[in-house]
Structure 1
Amino acid sequence: MKADIFRKMPVENLMSHNQEGKGLKKVLGAFELTMLGIGAIIGTGIFVLTGVAAADYAGPALVLSFIISGLACAFAALCYAELSAMIPISGSAYTFGYVGLGEIWGWIIGWDLILEYCVAVAAVSIGWSGYMVNILNIVGIHLPTAIIAAPGSGGIINLPAILILALIAGLLLLGAKESAKLNNILVAIKIAVVLLFIILGFSHVEPANWHPFMPYGWSGVFSGAAIVFFAYIGFDAVSTAAEEVKNPQKDLPKGIIGSLIICTVLYIVVSAILTGMVPYLEFKDNAAPVAYALAKVGISWGSALVSVGAICGITSVVLVMMYGSTRLFYALSRDGLLPKGFSQVSKTRGTPNKSIVLVFIATALVAGFLPIGKVAELTNMGTLAAFVIVSLSVILLRKSRPDLNRPFKVPFVPVVPMLAVVFCLFLILQLPTFTKVAFLIWIAIGFVVYAFYGYKHSSLNGTKAEKVD
């Protein structure tokens, strides 16, 4: 058994799934992929997280925190670009880990990503609920607490969170093309709102507010980088769409790297303007720093502006993260590590309907009845662990399978992938102890599931797998 758990999925096996007429329908191009990436990356992070990180961790040096997190993501993004162009198959880091490191590592990261995506979807839908309830309150519609909060938060059920999840699940059932069209519209609106804030805020920047620039020292900058890393989570969701891309070899690297560059630039500019408009300490315990900054300088309609941007931003994050999680279940199921039923594809829409329904039920139960609290921090931990696996896979596959066609190549291997590993491990160390312990418990449960189901039902049983190097 020891050797079997490290067996590697041959790339040729995976590519056979990607033939026309088999698997998922190919409907996406470079533009849709870039918009998917921006849709997943820019959400509450830019509207909420910036103020908290500035007040509690980095001060005006939040700009440096975003640059450090952006660098960590850039190294990882290059690795994702190489692997997704080489292996344009659903599953993201799970698939890359299966091919590069072996079945048990692929399963661990796949199990880890299940938690990451589902918790992120549930947490973001609760955020959507909060913004929507706030907007309804402004227009005079007051919903009873019983239907807008989970039992642990004074209510019975968070109905708005479940409703947005149901709407997104319904859209995903219609098909990837329809989902991408809505995402394009939502992303266009929220980018317009962010650019408008930059234009409005630029003329109200007071350089004096940037002093002291680094009030909490470098430790604050690094802690801030670990916190704002949450704002970058999502570009890996682009690689989950690999199997539905018309020209994956060219378009996947463009979508992954392009979306990360655009979002990094926007984050840096917004954080610089925000801390320049208002002294950073005023953002302490402020859940709407962008709206607060606009109101502070006399732009009273800023709150409404930000609410529109936030609703569109959060909706697109729910859409892309739920989309990514359904494709992950599809890939795990197709490889036999989860029940095969979840890899069944609709003949008319080309969508994994059972995976979509499963993700909806799981996320609706969490969002509707549980207060997320610290569990949301697991999203950071899961993503960082995935980045480490992907980066190591690039190095190992360069040695074990130099024959494979690589339309996009990471420069300076193994230096760049190792830098990604070092950056990500460093950021993991900055996370709270609770997060690390909870992550280990989830992984332990994953080992049990693999031992009693995945190992026995793996599609590699009785077939030729690549041996461990």
Structure 2
Amino acid sequence: MLFVIIAGGYLGFKTGWQGYSVKGGYFPKGINGVLSGSATVFFSYIGFDAIACTAEEVKNPKRDLPWGIGLTLSLCCAIYMMVSVVIVGLVPYPVMDPDTPISTAFIENGMHWAMYVVSTGAILSLCASLLGAILPQPRIMMAMARDGLLPSYFEAVNQTTQVPVRSTVWTGVFAAALAFFMDVSQLAGMVSVGTLLAFTMVAVSILVLRYAPPDEATDPVFLQDQTEIKEYERRRKAISNIVLICFGSLILTSGASARFLPVYLQYIACIVGGLLLLCSSVLLSHIDQYNGQSNFGNSGGFLCPFVPWLPILCITVNIYLLINLGLGTWLRVSVWLLAGILIYIFYGNAHSKAAKEGRAYTQIGSPTRETI
């Protein structure tokens, strides 16, 4: 990356940045083209989530994980943007080979030897990509096996290294099979869908944890005084507004992306979705939040700032990117989602710890206020 930035920058100033002389400059396809491309290459930013999966192996996760994620994202974004600025400016975009754009940019400027440097760097970078893929997924499978959502076979760890060996092996086998049988562009789209869906769920979860955390839930059966009734109403309003925010974002982004619709229908969808999103966001911002330190799953460490506005922005942008990934990508992802649903229905639902605790709770009987 540093070689591309330095050598490409030198060539750009030497040749006069030919790529920016074409019509359209840095945005030849407009903002919609940039956003569509961003949705496809979003998989480039998924490596940072591996940091969060190492929480059990870090001495001070409350301090180290936020710093690690923040610094990693900042550094990657800065490097990726500088590489994009340099490469797009070296040659006009129609000249670039979509499969090898960086090598093409140097070859078109007479630096044929740079192609070998770039190719060597690309091969070596596969090690980093492999680490980003092989580190978090086995630990996720191990955690799911501990909860009973997957067979206990995946729960086993090496006694010496404490590494989930079985999950790691099977993750590698499936990853290799997918890479062998599927096209890279298809895999990139599928990974981007999964990543954006996960990030959207995280943003929604932040809103839920701040306004209606599970450990603070109020049972309507026990409502007797005004304080409990007000708390129940506050939670109900918060959840309702969060749901409306999601629907408003979906309607707004669908209207902005549906090029096949008449223009007036696009405007109507954008106006309706925008008003729904704005009104529900304002209403949610006026509802009192919990302290945050007592929220479910929080141990007093890092707390997301600018809530609810930052998660709402994240939800809206992610949904827009998801819509622009295309029907073919969604059909392929639907097959994987269906497989996951079937595994949950026929195995996870019956063997999960939560289901077993629920059945035991039902057999004992629900507690009443008198028994409590």
Scaled by the length of structure 2, what TM-score is found? Answer: 0.68
* Aligned counterpart, 2:322: 428
Structure 2 residue 87 is matched with structure 1 residue 274: yes
Q: Counterparts in 2 of 1:406-421, with a 5 A limit?
A: 406-421=300-315
Matched, 1:229 2:42: yes
Q: Which one of the candidate residues 283, 288, 295 is aligned to 2:107? A: 295
Which of 291, 309, 325 is the aligned partner of 2:137? 325
Q: 1:205 to 1:450 in 2, by over 3 A?
A: farther
Contact 2:8 2:106 in 1 (8 A): no
> Matches of 2:3 and 2:155 in 1, distance apart?
38
Q: Which of 460, 463, 467 is the equivalent residue of 2:354? A: 460
* CA drift at 1:280: 1.6
Q: Secondary structure at the match of 1:443?
A: helix
- State the superposition RMSD in angstroms: 2.4
- What's the counterpart of residue 244 of structure 1? 57
Could you state the TM-score of these two structures normalised by the residue count of structure 1? 0.55
Asked if the contact 1:198/1:269 (under 8 Å) is kept, the reply is no
C-alpha separation between the residues in 2 aligned to 1:373 and 1:293?
A: 21
User: Equivalents in 2 of 1:287, 1:383: separation in Å?
Assistant: 23
**1:233, CA displacement in angstroms?**
2.7
Alignment correspondent of 2:238: none
Name stretches of at least 5 consecutive residues in structure 2 with no aligned partner. 216-291, 362-372
- Going from structure 1 to structure 2, the CA distance change for 1:205 and 1:243 (only over 3 Å counts) comes to farther
Within a 5 Å distance, the mapping from 1:133-144 to structure 2 comes to none
Aligned to 2:248: none
Q: Partner of 1:203: helix, strand, or coil?
A: helix
Q: CA distance change for structure 1 residues 205 and 253 in 2, over 3 Å: closer, same or farther?
A: farther
Where does the alignment leave 5 or more consecutive residues of structure 1 unmatched? 1-190
**Is contact 1:235-1:260 (8 Å) kept?**
yes
Report the Cα offset of residue 194 of structure 1. Answer: 4.4
Shift in alpha-carbon separation, 1:205–1:245, aligned structure 2, 3 A: farther
Q: Once structures 1 and 2 are overlaid, which stretch shifts more, 445-454 or 355-364?
A: 355-364
Distance in structure 2 (CA, Å) of the matches to 1:195 and 1:243: 37
Distance, in Å, in 2 between the alignment partners of 1:200 and 1:269 is: 13
**Residues in 1 aligned to 2:149 and 2:98: alpha-carbon distance in whole angstroms:** 44
Q: Do the aligned partners of residues 408 and 365 (structure 1) sit closer, same or farther apart at CA in structure 2, a change above 3 Å counting?
A: same
After superposition, give the CA deviation of every residue in 1:270-320 in whole Å (9 maximum; x if it has no partner).
11111221122111x342221222233232320111012111112210122
Residue identity opposite 1:232 in structure 2:
Y
Contact kept, 8 Å, 1:337 with 1:450, in 2: the verdict is: yes
Amino acid across the alignment from 2:33: G
Give SS of 2:353's match.
coil
Decide whether the 8 Å contact of 1:388 with 1:421 is kept in 2.
yes
| Residue type of the alignment partner of 2:29 | Y
Equivalent position amino acid for 2:20 in 1? W
Secondary structure at 2:346 match in 1: helix
1:316 partner SS: helix
Structure 1 residues 194 and 257: alpha-carbon distance in aligned structure 2, compared to 1, 3 A threshold: farther
Is the 1:239–1:252 Cα contact (8 Å) retained in structure 2? yes
In the alignment, structure 1 residue 441 sits paired with structure 2 residue 335: yes
Number of residues of Structure 1 aligned to a counterpart in Structure 2? 275
* Residue matched to 2:157: 345
CA distance in 1, matches of 2:131, 2:174: 15
Aligned partners of 2:50 and 2:136 also within 8 Å: yes
User: Structure 1: which amino acid aligns with 2:88?
Assistant: T
Compared CA separation, residues 288 and 365, structure 1 to 2 (3 A):
closer
Q: Tell me the equivalent position of 1:170.
A: none
- CA shift for structure 1 position 205: 5.4
Find the residue that maps to 1:338 and give its secondary structure.
coil
CA contact 2:40–2:188 (8 Å) conserved in 1:
no
Quote the residue 1:380 is aligned against: 192
- Distance in 2 (CA, whole Å) between partners of 1:429 and 1:286 is 23
Aligned to 1:209: 19
Contact map agreement 1:333 1:342 (CA 8 A) in 2: yes
Report how far residue 371 of structure 1 moved.
5.3
How far the C-alpha of 1:236 sits from its partner, in A, is: 1.9
Alpha carbons of structure 1 residues 369 and 225: separation in structure 2 relative to 1, 3 Å: closer
Structure 1 residue 387: Cα displacement: 0.4
Classify 1:364/1:270 alpha carbon distance in 2 versus 1 (closer, same or farther; 3 Å): closer
